[in-house]
């Protein structure tokens, strides 16, 4: 008799344990599946990097400048602005609206990146590059993801030529840029002079994030770069 009662009690406990474990397990698996997300993969190359309408195809017949049939973004390049730090970037197409911090070089000579902490998921402007609206390429970068998950430029791979990027400056002027091209470069062959240099005359913007995650070595081997030029300014 005692044996039977004991057996019944153990059966009840095991049933309860089994049900709870299975229910909790299912919930966790569903939660994990629901949390799966991945950054949009940028195209290898769309649009023309050289936006200058005056220095058109005839003046710049470099074959590498034209990557696909997307027509060059037209429209006048706006008059350059003076220096004033960027404070906020807005990219309507991908829902980005972020403060912009100044950032310098890391000890190894690469562009530093926002570090873990309150600024990790903010966009960062390379402080030795022109301020947005000044002549030359202004550089703004952002993480695609961090240990916290998707970051500020998570969806940068969805940006395409003709999209708009707005940068509010400390002087109250908003510099409006139109995207000319998107490139996906390999980090080991990153074209430094194309991204940080190039046309020094036209006010331009470059947006940079990571791309091409290599699962075997567990890091990103590519950098997506969005090329844009200034098309208007307003207060």
What residues between 164 and 203 interact with other proteins by CB under 8 A? Answer: 185, 187-193, 196-197, 200-201
Enter the DSSP assignment of 130: P
| The only residue of 50, 121, 145, 163 in contact with other proteins, by rule CB under 8 A | 145
In angstroms, the CA 144 to CA 152 distance is 6
Question: End-to-end CA distance of the chain, in Å?
Answer: 88
Can residue 113 be called a binding residue for other proteins (CB under 8 A)?
yes
Among 19, 68, 74, 75, binds other proteins (CB under 8 A): 19
Does position 148 interact with other proteins (CB under 8 A)? The reply is: yes
Q: Does 40 bind other proteins (CB under 8 A)?
A: no
Residues 52 to 111: which contact other proteins by CB under 8 A?
Answer: 80, 82-83, 105, 108-111
State which of residues 42, 46, 154, 230 lies at the interface with other proteins (CB under 8 A).
Answer: 154
Q: Which residues contact 169 (CB under 8 A, 6 or more apart)?
A: 81, 84, 85, 86, 87, 131, 132, 133, 175
């Amino acid at each position: 008799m005692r044996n039977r009662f004991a057996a019944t009690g153990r059966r009840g406990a095991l049933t309860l344990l089994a049900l709870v474990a299975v229910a909790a397990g299912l919930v966790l698996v569903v939660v994990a599946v629901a949390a799966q997300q991945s950054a949009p993969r940028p195209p290898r190359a769309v649009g023309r990097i050289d936006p200058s309408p005056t220095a058109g195809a005839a003046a710049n017949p470099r074959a590498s400048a034209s990557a696909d049939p997307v027509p060059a973004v037209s429209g006048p390049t706006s008059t350059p602005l003076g220096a004033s730090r960027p404070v906020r970037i807005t990219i309507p197409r991908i829902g980005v609206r972020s403060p912009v911090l100044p950032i310098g070089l890391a000890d190894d000579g690469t562009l530093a990146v926002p570090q873990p902490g309150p600024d990790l998921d903010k966009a960062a402007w390379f402080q030795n590059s022109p301020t947005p609206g000044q002549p030359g390429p202004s550089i703004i970068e952002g993480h695609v993801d961090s240990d916290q998950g998707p970051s500020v430029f998570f969806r940068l791979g969805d940006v395409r030529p003709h999209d708009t990027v707005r940068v509010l400056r400390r002087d109250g002027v908003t510099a409006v840029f139109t995207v000319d091209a998107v490139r996906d470069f390999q980090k080991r062959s990153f074209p430094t002079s194309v991204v940080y240099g190039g046309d020094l005359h036209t006010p331009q913007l470059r947006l940079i994030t990571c791309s091409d995650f290599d699962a075997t070595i567990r890091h990103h081997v590519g950098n997506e770069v969005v090329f844009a030029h200034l098309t208007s300014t307003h207060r």
